[in-house]
Amino acid sequence: SYELTQPPSVSVSPGQTASISCSGDKLGDKYACWYQQKPGQSPVLVIYQDTKRPSGIPERFSGSNSGNTATLTISGTQAMDEADYYCQAWDNSAVIFGGGTKLTVL
């Protein structure tokens, strides 16, 4: 079955750029999306169709997807961006989630 692999954790200093990767076989041939989840809250869609931001999502969130890796980039990271991030794709009529990455802003 298809798998998406994310690093368990990423750390970034405030104001710097955070990059979170999501790897899967030929992931670039599919659309990837990203969710942000803060403690005790439901996930929130932050990127869809690889690069698009839903209404209300700050411009500092961006995405890319090529080859076997999709990447979520947060520019000028703020303390409020500290959260778990999950990538997601669709493969063989099934929703696939990555294992999640805890972003720490310190």
- Residues of this chain that interact with other proteins (CB under 8 A) are 1, 30-31, 33, 35, 42-45, 48-49, 54, 86, 88-90, 93-100
In 3-state terms, what secondary structure has residue 66?
strand
We find the least distance from the C-beta atom of residue 74 to other proteins, in angstroms, to be: 19
Element (H, E) at 62: strand 61-66
Residue 9's alpha-carbon distances to 19, 83, 95, 100, in angstroms, are: 11, 10, 23, 8
We find the least distance from the C-beta atom of residue 14 to other proteins, in angstroms, to be: 26
Question: Among residues 16 and 54, whose Cβ is nearest to other proteins?
Answer: 54
Question: Among residues 36 and 77, whose Cβ is nearest to other proteins?
Answer: 36
We find the least distance from the C-beta atom of residue 67 to other proteins, in angstroms, to be: 17
Residue 20, both tokens: 């979170």
